[in-house]
Structure 1
């Protein structure tokens, strides 16, 4: 399972329809949070995602609408009895931010909060996948993130295995897991019965950014690109001044990168009641585009399914 839940999709100003930025990814039961705008813990409750399995919070940058939910989230987990450590990763000054949260209020935590400062191309290695930081272009130090799974084993050719004398049963499993097996005095290698390795899934989240080559390169072949699309094209000058992207620009980048699906997020409050302008201009360029809505959830499937 690889599931993406949009907990907050607003621009800098929240609206009745949209909470500030936060995206939760559930991979095989392991939870990762990307940005944590105010009220994120309540959004997690509304989405019934659970929060005690959350081990990492990845911050794209330290603007208030991306970080102010952290103290409340930590306290909620503390009240629920959390004892396991949690890591908050982000760009330069993330460690100072974590220390600030510790000093500005009383807290009841009985677990460690670890700060991890990242630079572009730094990698956090997980079991079966990794999260890589990428360069973005915003008005303050910022990062985007690529969650990419390890390659999967190729498809098992049952007929080829039987033709080589391997009987159905436990030996099939050993071959599928990359181990050679001995059959009637002969050795059968996994590569004799397994197809070529298959790619895992790939999700790219930009945070707030202007379109940039580093995001385009990171997004090549991605299953899902979640891109800043704060404004429509008639606001291009404001987008450039504030270092955000238009929906058209996000769609152009998605098309060049060859992604499977584009989700527009960080939606300005001017479109809070009707985001159709953003969607329409993006779909003229890249048809497989949708606008994120709060509590929207997507399951990312393998390309060969």
Structure 2
């Protein structure tokens, strides 16, 4: 799983940062998923090494413009490019009306189907998407309008295949090994061999959590528990905590407290207010230092930063 930040500013773009969007590249299935789609997200995609033709799913946290204004333009451009596979869109119930209205009043006709999935999570959250490999969970956050965070979980990988043990059983290398690696039980030479007996314990998959926009809340902690990477908004510096509470956004220290309470492996801060641009009284280095004082494994996201999440090695 590969994560690329396409926009890390809050509210409005700056010269260095676009508004919110995150691309999740899934090489094993040749797909790209987007989390949020602020204005000019398609321009950011064009400036990245990502292949827009691989875009399959878009997840929207909430309906504020800096998270959705890029969606109609991106969908229209995909239509002109002849995309035929279709897209699945997940988000608050108003998302479908917003997209369909924008397309209708701009006389835009898409050449591919859109599939809308309304995200109306109950208090304890729910599963938005699941297949044999991945699961996406949603949980309500605490913002001025209904907003949700997302957790993408890669299901456990098969354990390491013991080639030497397979050879000792007289099994020839080849396609048979591939079936046994998946844990399949096969019949060969009058014997029944269970693939699980030739594999080590399953390896846990990786987990990614995206929490924006929100003030500190239990929902964010529960969603992030034990995650490999937590991407959490940090709109304000600690000294502006009163403003953060009024606007229901997080400070750097709130984000760090979520990471600490949830026991995540790494925290990436994003969604920064333009008031903390370099050269100001409080700048990016100060924001990072505030979070690291509570949670040392913190980094500050920037546009086009790419992080790689890989399955844990065998013990």
User: Normalization by structure 1: what TM-score?
Assistant: 0.94
Matched, 1:249 2:240: no
The CA deviation at 1:100 is 2.0
8 Å CA contact 2:71, 2:99 repeated in 1: no
Matched, 1:191 2:196: yes
Residue in 2 aligned with 1:84?
85
Does 100-109 or 128-137 show the bigger shift? 100-109
Residue in 1 aligned with 2:112?
111
Matched, 1:265 2:265: no
For each residue in 1:44-79, what CA deviation from the matched residue of structure 2 results, as whole angstroms up to 9, or x when unmatched? 001131212212111000001111111111122122
Counterpart CA distance in 2 for 1:99 and 1:60 is: 18
8 Å CA contact 2:203, 2:311 repeated in 1: no
Q: How many residues in Structure 1 have an aligned counterpart in Structure 2?
A: 304
Does 55-64 or 267-276 show the bigger shift? 267-276
Counterpart CA distance in 1 for 2:311 and 2:202 is: 13
Matches within 5 A, 1:168-179: 168-179=173-184
Residue in 1 aligned with 2:64?
63
8 Å CA contact 2:140, 2:146 repeated in 1: no
Residue in 2 aligned with 1:123?
128
Which secondary structure does the structure 1 equivalent of 2:161 belong to? coil
Residue in 1 aligned with 2:298?
289
Residue in 2 aligned with 1:7?
6
Residue in 1 aligned with 2:31?
30
Unaligned runs of 5+ in 2: none
Residue in 1 aligned with 2:289?
280
Unaligned runs of 5+ in 1: none
Superposition CA RMSD, Å? 1.7
The CA deviation at 1:126 is 4.1
C-alpha change, 1:115 and 1:187, in structure 2 (3 Å) is closer
Counterpart CA distance in 1 for 2:85 and 2:186 is: 41
Does 43-52 or 80-89 show the bigger shift? 80-89
